[in-house]
Structure 1
Amino acid sequence: MAADERPTPPPELDRVDREALEEFTKRDAATLREVSAYLEEVAAWKERREGADDESISDEADAEPYPDGVPERATVSVTEIAGTEYDYYQWREGDEIRSETVRR
């Protein structure tokens, strides 16, 4: 590859991946090397997780079910009020934003 020829991204990337890569092309070489090293570590971590014998590591297996009336696409955050933890669910129905708070 010539020094002035920009590398071509892998063809199997989706739109979001391509947009992320486009943003990285604006960074300096040192930052790209740091990000590359980090991504290698993340890939190794994911491979270790996927190869683990214990199936309970899966985020979905650990997830608690949503309360009745709360769609699975709701965003969940944990809030602590006066020493008590609550799950705060928030989702959109049409133009309205709905929410529900449930004690943990």
Structure 2
Amino acid sequence: MTDTGSERPAPPGDLDADLYDLLEALSKRDLETVSAVATYVTELEAWLESTERDATYPDDVPERATVSVMEVAGTSYRYYQWREGDEIRSKTVELE
């Protein structure tokens, strides 16, 4: 690998101490391992966004509704879905 003279990136400044230790340990791993972890973290982020639950639901949505976050044409939406008897109900709300 060629030294390009660039400095190692600094971790975000607002992390818990245990995460700094984790990132320091990761920085000592080989490129393949770091790449695999990066892929996992990206997938984890997408999963967390898609399953995120808001503390408050719209007035007409029960708290038992499942919540997904999706993006369409650059706009993010929260999609609520629940069952009422034999019917499946849903509501989509644009995120601000």
RCO comparison, higher one (Cα < 8 Å, 6+) = 2
Q: Return the index of the structure with the highest Cα Rg.
A: 1
Structure richer in helix, relative to its length: 1
TM-score (normalizing by structure 2): 0.50
